[in-house]
Amino acid sequence: MSHTTVTLTSDEKRRIQAILDTLERLYPDADCELRYDTPFQLLVATVLSAQSTDKRVNMVTERLFKEYGTPEAMAALEPEELEPWIKELGLYRNKARQIVHAARMIVEEHGGQVPSERSALEALPGVGRKTANVVLSNAFSIPALAVDTHVFRVARRLGLAVTKSPEQTERVLTQILPKESWKQVHHRLIRHGRQVCTARNPACFSCELRLFCPSAQAPDDAR
């Protein structure tokens, strides 16, 4: 990613801190809503979550991981054998192929352990930057800030990162936010995006961030 430096004024720093403090008060226990026991299970669940809800993914993985919860078990499958287990999720054929091939790479190239290096993670089929960030942050406690549709939308509306892509948003947020807060901010922005700052008809008038939000009084087409 580009490394253009973001410079903040004192007022901007105070506004950002007020947003962080409010998010912490509103969502103190916000955490990853995908259910998993191992880094591999989190990797699989995150791949499955593309164009699917976490609730739906958790229903699928509860059954799936009882039978194929390890890289070795998943690697022994053919994609066509995995498809029936995940067919209620979007893009299930592509996901089945990606997950099986990723499991085989993990077994063959990494001794059955999900790698904790970004480059190795992103070399796995189906693993882009967002998925790698989710795994690094949640499975390995390595500072990373995943930008999904909720984080992208809410960060833009709040004026934290008015950018054109998730990659640009990540670059800005990781410069203006304390590194130790990245994981929590990711989960709190997601929770706020789901509960209040929804894609359609955001609840601006009941939002406790509205005093710090440049979009709160904007016309609907500016949100």
Please give the C-alpha separations between residue 189 and each of 77, 119, 173, 195, 196, in angstroms, as whole numbers.
37, 26, 12, 10, 10
Q: Is 148 a catalytic residue?
A: yes
CA angle 46, 19, 171 (to 5 degrees): 50
18 with 26: CB under 8 angstroms? no
Note the residue count of the chain.
223
Three-state secondary structure of 1-18? CCCCCCCCCHHHHHHHHH
Q: What are phi and psi of 205, to 5 degrees?
A: -75, -15
**Which position among 37, 148, 164, 183 bears the catalytic label?**
148
Q: Is 31 a catalytic residue?
A: no
Structure tokens at 179: 């590194």
**Which position among 13, 66, 95, 130 bears the catalytic label?**
130
Q: What are phi and psi of 201, to 5 degrees?
A: 55, 60
> Which residue numbers are catalytic?
130, 148
